[in-house]
Amino acid sequence: MNNNNNNNNIHYSSTMSNDHETGTSGESLRMFDPSYHPYPPQANIYSDYPNATSKIEAFDYNYWPTPATTTHNILTNPTITVLDQTQSSSSSSSSSSNPTIETLVPVSSVQLSQLNTSATISATHHHHHIHQHLYPPSPPTCNDPSTWLGSGNYQSLHPTTNPSSYRHYTTPCPFYSSNNFYDSSQPQWTQPPPPPPQTAIPIKFESSYSPPSYFERSNHINHCQEQISKDEPSNSPQHINWLKNDSSSTQLIQIPPKNPLNGKTRTRDKYRIVYTDQQRYELENEFIISKYISIPRKSALSLTLSLSERQIKIWFQNRRAKERKLNKKRQEISSTRQLNNSNDGDSPSDGGLESPNYYQNYA
DNA sequence: TTGTGTTTTACGACCTCC
DNA sequence: GGAGGTCGTAAAACACAA
């Protein structure tokens, strides 16, 4: 099922799934209809994200047994409208002829028409509970050269810019606006930088690390291209060769181990890569859908994002850790506020994350 | 520009589950 | 035994005040 946003020239492809409470009364199942009335976005859920304009991924969408009125089309109205449910159902507002609809509160900070992320809409109608996932068009991937601006154009436009990073989007990334090198004068993406020379002697660290092969690559583009569906554990043949200082089977930069006993060092320029905004954007969207990545989804993301499955797995682990940290901080703030009102001990919390479902992962 | 704090990748250790 | 979980941590990348 597709929904077209004609007013804003954004096409939202969507998938829909039914949740519990379906059709026990025998009535036909009613699917999502954008002409019905939205419930308020759950604004506080994503309070850890400062850019609230992109954080309406989850909100309730309710429609009523009465016929639709001319109120709010959530897909075409540039401003998401919030229903104030505090009023009685018998009251009516000037914005709606539906007697069950109360005050309509515009939320100017949440504009779906400008949203460049996926949205999850839950709709309820009597015994129906429907989830609709909307997928606005994604920005071009980092590996799509057709979207890059020629290096000469970039140099002429930005002669003094440090070309260490070329993540240069035509629009700011909603999740990582601070990481964008956004410039309204740029009509297209910029070209990734040429690979740096590999003649420099790698700087070694004292820490004990077992670098996977992608740390030994010279740049991120090569990494992207070579990481597809590859997942190399620390005891991979490449790593063993690296430990043995054997260059015969790889093109890795040779780094003699600082300490032959553990033989683990990293080069300073390859310690970790910075994911592109597009990669983090897609990962965040996936995290919104599920805190735990399934094996099929991990595989698919590995291909689409040019990241190894191991990188995706670790990203989700780190992301969950971040979520727990944020929830813990929220809980501390909340308990501090209630300190004068209650002496009850804090209830234990897992940070709001469900336990992993192994059965689901292997299904 | 520099110092400092925070966030982001990535790993090892250790655990549970199948 | 292998997979993936949490936890703690290293170090690069980043943000920002002085």
Instruction: Give the residue whose CA sits closest to B12 at C1'.
Output: A209
Q: Which nucleotides of C are covered by protein (CB under 7 A)?
A: 4-16
Check if the beta carbon of residue A349 is closer than 8 Å to that of residue A327.
yes
pLDDT at A335: 77
Would you say the C-beta of A208 is within 7 Å of strand B? yes
pLDDT at A159 over 60: no
Cβ atoms < 10 Å from Cβ of A22? 13
Query: Average of pLDDT values for A18-38?
Result: 29
Q: Which nucleotides of B are covered by protein (CB under 7 A)?
A: 8-12, 17-18
* A90-124: pLDDT as tens digits: 333 333 322 222 122 222 222 233 232 333 232 22
Whether the CA torsion A29, A33, A37, A43 is positive or negative: it is positive
Question: What local confidence, expressed as pLDDT, does residue A300 receive?
Answer: 92
* Closest residue (CA to C1') to nucleotide B8 in the complex: A274
pLDDT at A304 over 60: yes
Q: Per-residue pLDDT tens for A224-279?
A: 333 333 344 333 333 332 322 222 222 223 333 333 323 334 444 457 899 999 99
Given a cut of 60, whether residue A291 has pLDDT beyond it is: yes
Mean pLDDT across the stretch A293-300?
92
**In the structure encoding, which two tokens stand for residue A75, read together?**
């897909």
Strands A104-106 and A119-125, how do they pair?
unpaired
In this prediction, residue A342 carries a pLDDT of 65
Q: CA of A314 and C1' of C16: distance in angstroms?
A: 29
First to last CA, chain A: 25
Supply the pLDDT for residue A339: 74
Beta carbons of A63 and A37 less than 8 angstroms apart: yes
Q: How confident is the model at residue A169 (pLDDT cuts 50, 70, 90)?
A: very low
Instruction: Check whether A306 has a pLDDT greater than 50.
Output: yes
Helix residue ranges, H only, chain A: 151-157, 220-226, 237-243, 277-289, 295-305, 309-337, 358-362
pLDDT averaged over every residue in chain A: 43
CB A302 under 7 Å to nucleic chain B? no
The share of chain A scoring above pLDDT 70, in percent, equals 19
Contacts for A235-239: CB closer than 8 Å, 24+ residues apart: A235/A210, A236/A212, A238/A212, A238/A213, A239/A210, A239/A211, A239/A212, A239/A213
Rounded to two decimals, what is the model's pTM? Answer: 0.43
How long is the CA A358 to C1' B13 vector, in angstroms? 22
- Find out if CATH 3.30.565.10 is the number for domain A277-333: no
Q: How long is the CA A209 to C1' C10 vector, in angstroms? A: 9
3-class secondary structure, A64: coil
Q: Residue A294 pairs with which residues in a beta bridge?
A: none
Asked if A322 CB < 7 A from strand B, the reply is yes
State yes or no: pLDDT of A192 exceeds 50.
Answer: no
Give the residue whose CA sits closest to B11 at C1'.
A209
User: Confidence class of residue A354 from pLDDT cuts 50, 70 and 90?
Assistant: low
Provide the CA A177 to C1' B13 distance, Å, integer.
36
Residue A53 scores a pLDDT above 90 = no
CB atoms inside a 10 Å sphere around CB A83? 24
- pLDDT at residue A123, rounded to an integer: 28
Percent of chain A with pLDDT over 90: 13
CB within 7 A of strand B (chain A, 81-120): none
Stronger pLDDT, A335 or A215, i.e. the higher one? A335
Q: Can you tell me the distance from the alpha carbon of A226 to that of A242, in angstroms, rounded to the nearest whole number?
A: 18
- Give the H/E segment covering residue A128: strand A128-135
pLDDT at A323 over 90: yes
